[in-house]
Structure 1
C-alpha cells in the first residue's frame, strides 16, 4: 500500500488506521505499507525499513516491539519513551533534526 492515508483528514486517517490494524489482527496477512509519516510508521509497523534517496537502498531496519492489539492503547504507545526513541532514531536516519 503506497501512502493510502496520505491525503485524508486526521480523524478519517486515524479511523482507517484502526480498521486496517483490526483487519490485520483477524487475518495476520503481510502488508507492505509505504508512508512518509514517521508516527504512522511506528504505530502501524512491526518492522520499519528506512530507504535512502535514489537509487533506494536500505539505510536502517527498525523493529517495533509494541504489543498487539495496539488499537486500544494508541495514546499510551505514542506517549511512551520507546516510541520517542524510535522516532528520534528514524529522524536521524532521514537527516532530520530533533
Structure 2
C-alpha cells in the first residue's frame, strides 16, 4: 500500500508535536517543583526542550522500524509479545516513503 506525501508529513508532524508536548509537560513539572518556572523563558531551556523532543521522535522512529522488521520476519512469538507493536508498524508504514 502506498501513502501520499501528505500522510508521511502528517505522521511525522503528529509524532513530533506529541513528543514536544510531552517534553514541555515534563519540563514544566520539573521547573514547577523546583520553583523555577521563569527558566522556561531562557533560550537554553527552550533549545534543550527541542533537543529532547527530537530525541524522543527519533527513538520512536527507530523502534517503529525495528517493530516493522520483526513483523516482516517469521518470528511471531516476539512480535506478539509487544503490545505497541501494531501501532509502531502502522506508524512506520505511514511515516516512511515506500518506493
TM-score normalised per structure 2 = 0.28
Q: TM-score, normalised by structure 1?
A: 0.29
In our comparison, the structure showing a higher alpha carbon Rg is 2
Structure number with the higher helix fraction is 2
- Bigger relative contact order, structure 1 or 2, given CA contacts below 8 A and separation 6+? 2
- Give the structure with the larger strand fraction: 1
